Structure formats: structure tokens, C-alpha cells
Homo-oligomer: A and B are copies of this chain.
């Protein structure tokens, strides 16, 4: 049951018998300080239990020691059609984990900022006002204006996943086309003759790249036409798409993410198809779901944690030097051979 008011620099100064300027210098480790006082001040800090007020500090330094994780969704949700899906998906957690692995050692905090189109102005304002030093952006909508706004406002920002259109903003991404091509090669090498694809939404960049990458690679091997069905990256939608594709009697199917692949596996199983003997299945992401599936999912590894960590590093560097070059880091996916193909 301590005093309600927290000790301030002034209080510490009084106890130490110095001015608050000196205390500030000591606390912030400025060198022009008499070692004598140094001691005195620190013990006064201990004694009073002083903790610097970050708000007050940020107000003057214009540095908050915080970065924002912006989840941009831009759609208005009646109830909860998207949010619960998004957070329950391994994607979100993997990104947070990757970010934290570099942010935490750096002593930087993470603020979660879900925002729709209505909130763009406010968000940009808050960021310019110094509420956060920069932003890592998870842009979900197809043509999201937010990345452009951030670039225009010269706010240090890094996208996870390339922007829909070229923009002076840093980003990390996966070579999605390459990944899809890897899957195609594998299927072709297996001797699959009737290959189908379950894709993600047609309007998000990562999904587009997987589609074009797969089609292009298949065409290279003479398969001009690949029957496809689109899902929305959930397991349920994967089941639905697989059911629709059953009519094509495929002997191989590439699924744009593991969750949907899981759904596909279930449908195939229920349809009496053996995997991979009757139909080979390849997923995408190498999320934990892939290992848990039976048969274990052959999939394209997507090093999301590493990518998020890199995004954090890029962002911190940009905060340090805002004039630096906008850079992009593209990760190369690899094929993880397991049992489904």
C-alpha cells in the first residue's frame, strides 16, 4: 500500500541532493557525470523505486521504444467473420513470435493495431505523433491504400508480403512463384497426369503468385490447363474446394496452404482415395499442421518466423536511419518431402 503517486525525477533529485537534470543524465547514462554523484544518484533511485515515465520521455525525445504491428483489414465486419479466423490461424502467431525474437532483446515493445479503412488517417496521425517509432504491416486486403499512406507520410515501415503495386516501402516476402514451381516439378516428377490446384483468394498478391507460379511451371511441362478451385485459406474452404475438384479425378493436387491441404486430405480419405498412391497432395507453408497430418504433408517451407524477424531488423534499422535505402528481402522456399507426395 504505497503512496499513490510514483516518484519522479524531482523526488529522486531531492533525495540525492542534486538537480533533476543530473539525475536524468545518470539514468540515461550520459558520460559527463562525477562518479561520486553517479553512485549517490543510483542509490537514490533504488531507494525511491523510481521508474522513468516513458510517456513523458517520448513526448520530448520523439522516440517511443515501441513498434506497431498493424493488421490492416479494411473490410467492415458485421460480427466476426474474419478476425477469429485470422488470429486462430498459425500465421498470426508465427509472425508475432518472429518479431518478438528480435524486438524483445532490443528492448522494443510491440503494440497491436488492428485497423480498417476508417482508421487509416488516425493511425498515420498516431504514428507521426510518435506513438510508435515504426510499423510492421500485415496487409490483408487486395488493394490496400495503407502501405501507400505510410510511404507518403515517411513513416518507417516494413511490409510482410509484397505490396500490390510498387511502392517506396521496404518489405520481406517469399518467392511464392518459385515455391509453387517446386510443387509442380515434384508432381510432374511423380508422373502425375491429371493435376489440379486449390488456390487462395484471387486478389491477394501472395495467392496470385502461387497461382501464376504453378500454372507457368506446369505449362513448361506441357500441361496447359490446370483445373482449379479457390478457397480462403481455411480448412473448411479446402474441403469444399477438394469436393468440387473430385469430379476432375485428379492424381495430384497442389494446395496453396497447409490448412486447406488438411481439408483436402480429409475429403480424399472420405472419398476412399489413397494418398499419395491414388492422388498426391502438396501443401504450402510447412506450418505445424503439416506434421500433424496423416499422411504427413509434403509441403513448401515458408520461413515465416525468420521473415518476421528480418522485418523487425529492417524496421529497427530504418528507425535508426530513416534516410536509408528501402530494401526488400525475398526468401527462397524449399520443398519438404514427407508422405503425401
Q: A93, A129, A293 — which one has the most chain B CB atoms within 10 A of its CB?
A: A93
Beyond the given A88-B288, A100-B114, please list 5 additional residue pairs across the A-B interface where CB-CB is below 8 A: A55-B58, A55-B59, A92-B93, A104-B114, A112-B112
How many chain copies? 2
Contacts of A124 in B (CB 8 A): 51
Interface status of A313 (Cβ within 8 A of chain B)? no
Asked if B88 contacts A291 (CB within 8 A), the reply is no
Taking the closest CB of chain B, its distance from the CB of A96, in whole angstroms, is 5
Q: Which residue of B lies closest to A128 (CB)?
A: B6
Contact residue among B49, B104, B125 (Cβ-Cβ distance under 8 Å from A6): B125
Residue ranges of A at the interface with B (Cβ–Cβ < 8 Å): 1-2, 6, 49, 51-56, 58-59, 64, 66, 69, 80, 83-84, 86-90, 92-94, 96-97, 100-101, 104, 109-114, 121-122, 124-126, 128-131, 152-153, 235, 262-263, 266, 269, 288-289, 291-294, 305
Asked if B100 contacts A109 (CB within 8 A), the reply is no
Contact residue among B126, B289, B291 (Cβ-Cβ distance under 8 Å from A51): B126
Contacts of A51 in B (CB 8 A): 121-122, 124-126, 128-129
Asked if A55 contacts B92 (CB within 8 A), the reply is no
Contact residue among B64, B84, B293 (Cβ-Cβ distance under 8 Å from A305): B84
Contacts of A305 in B (CB 8 A): 84
Asked whether A94 and B83 contact (CB < 8 A) given A100-B114, A112-B110, the answer is: no
Q: Which residue of B lies closest to A60 (CB)?
A: B55
